[in-house]
Structure 1
């Protein structure tokens, strides 16, 4: 909710209910609002520069888009807010067509989804470099150096289950008796080329065998239900999670180490059109100040404030920028 507006109680309640419904799916639409802010040193290196910021329409992306818009606006830019673009491809297409200048993306998404590469590159820096090079050559997009958060796939267990079974890694899971290897996953993850079945193979766990993972040990469900089911330890000991999801700390889940490095890194990176960056090279060091402060723990907290507490992404983005010392309140 915009801090500058006072709303009636019925409207506030309705808005909160809508946010709760959307947040339960891990999706939140952009409100189109950006809090006014000022640079901490009073400098405005982007004064008069027109910047169109876009993002996909799920929680983390909208938060990152709001962070970018508020931050660059505080540095003097004229911001056009296109965060929360509907459909997973809309934000990317906007940038490819020159309709947007800057957005956040994930290295694993670009490597596998956009460029259809099947090689697993487990080193985050190496993967970023490969993505940087192919995106610049093929699409004239510049991937700025990656942040420290990695929104990749993982498996988690409740603290009680992890302690009872003595597991900290996926190799530990592979060593368990078959009756304890029970999993909750969503349909997409089951069938992905980098998903459940190849993961089992990588860890030497045969699927659909009595001594491996019988089909009855795998429950497919909506992603949101996976988290609560895993927290309860019923019907599964282990659930698929996204590593920056705010429900991990909220439900006190323990993420298991992918010790064979099966899952592709999905580090967040700022992506800028090449011609726009050439015209405004100061964007790179300015956005590096943001990227350097974003970690898995930070993103879990920010995502949780929206998905669990029902806060507005613009509020969350503004509060974090102030707390991180990147902007201050506007005069």
Structure 2
């Protein structure tokens, strides 16, 4: 999963005219933005020394969560800024390790597999228990009940024509074409996992940075199945079929803050972030994403309103 305050600005506007979609993985990259957060959680200027820099990725949900984390910290008197548009784990894990970012909204299962490709955990509890050892010098705070995981989708027409309602059915599909973010091609839950777990051979892979384009290509038959996030409104808005995953290729994905040891040792910061985690639900994620993707609201404003509704600011 992934993330920023970023992409949806130019790209969502560009893709909005053609399709009625919500996009968790929208588009163009903007320069990384840093700076001391205002009480509203925005970024301006250079980050103050000693402030907590919250990173966020290049999709809507991460952009919103980054703002929520940063604004929640500011509300408790902790200096914070947002560094947006960090577009892959390879990028932001390095940023956390080198100290240029100190907190990031993550997802439990994919985070575990990033650090431990041989992880045997399957349940939510097993994944959470395995994380502290796997991530080394980094730390995780409380896992939220909010879940947003990768899911493979196809159109109703393609599902019916090919008799596919589950990833287990893909082994009978010839010349299977798969779409998703560029990094999916090498992920354990990408084409390599489809092959090893379900015996499905991917004939071609197409990388997407825009959900609008990805959905259109599905509808036009340019790609057979594509990776989405379960909280994306694009799935329901376009009547896509979510393919079942009976062998748990994709691990449970609860929202969890990944932080530096310095943040983990800051009791005020951890209390603020854990309060967010306790309040956050899957329904919240769906509603927050829709406000940005469909209603075109600013992630910082959406974050502020949510924090106020939960009495966290």
TM-score (norm 1): 0.68
1:80 and 1:268 map into 2 onto residues whose CA distance is: 20
CA contact (8 A) 1:158 1:254 kept: yes
**Of the two, which has the highest radius of gyration?**
1
Residues 158/323 of structure 1: CA separation in 2 closer, same or farther (3 Å cut): farther
Aligned to 1:251: 238
Alignment of structure 1 residues 86-101 onto 2, 5 Å: 88-101=89-102
Does 1:228 pair with 2:216?
yes
Does 1:269 pair with 2:270?
no
CA contact (8 A) 1:161 1:237 kept: yes
Comparing 22-31 with 241-250, greater Cα deviation is found at 22-31
From 265, 268, 272, the counterpart of 1:286: 272
Q: Per-residue deviation at 1:249? A: 3.1
Comparing 280-289 with 181-190, greater Cα deviation is found at 181-190
Residues 150/310 of structure 1: CA separation in 2 closer, same or farther (3 Å cut): same
CA contact (8 A) 2:152 2:228 kept: yes
From 134, 154, 173, the counterpart of 2:151: 154
1:297 and 1:166 map into 2 onto residues whose CA distance is: 31
Aligned to 1:66: 67
Aligned to 1:36: 39
Residues 96/203 of structure 1: CA separation in 2 closer, same or farther (3 Å cut): closer
From 118, 138, 142, the counterpart of 1:145: 142
Q: Per-residue deviation at 1:314? A: 0.7
From 219, 235, 241, the counterpart of 2:228: 241
TM-score (norm 2): 0.71
CA contact (8 A) 2:153 2:226 kept: yes
Aligned to 1:82: 83
CA contact (8 A) 1:157 1:255 kept: yes
1:86 and 1:260 map into 2 onto residues whose CA distance is: 28
CA contact (8 A) 1:28 1:57 kept: no
SS across alignment from 2:143: coil
2:57 and 2:14 map into 1 onto residues whose CA distance is: 15
2:280 and 2:305 map into 1 onto residues whose CA distance is: 14
1:235 and 1:85 map into 2 onto residues whose CA distance is: 28
1:65 and 1:92 map into 2 onto residues whose CA distance is: 15
CA contact (8 A) 1:227 1:241 kept: no
User: Per-residue CA shift, 1:66-99, capped at 9, x if unaligned?
Assistant: 1011122222323333344577555434433445
User: Per-residue CA shift, 1:295-325, capped at 9, x if unaligned?
Assistant: 4443344334334443322122112223344
CA contact (8 A) 1:245 1:300 kept: yes
Aligned to 1:10: none
CA contact (8 A) 1:142 1:272 kept: yes
User: Per-residue CA shift, 1:189-233, capped at 9, x if unaligned?
Assistant: 34444312431442244x3xxxxx7x4xx5635353332333x26
Residues 125/99 of structure 1: CA separation in 2 closer, same or farther (3 Å cut): same
CA contact (8 A) 1:158 1:233 kept: no
Aligned to 1:117: 117
Q: Per-residue deviation at 1:106? A: 2.9
Aligned to 1:194: 189
CA contact (8 A) 1:52 1:99 kept: no
User: Per-residue CA shift, 1:163-209, capped at 9, x if unaligned?
Assistant: 787765333x348x647x9544246434444312431442244x3xx
Q: Per-residue deviation at 1:267? A: 2.9
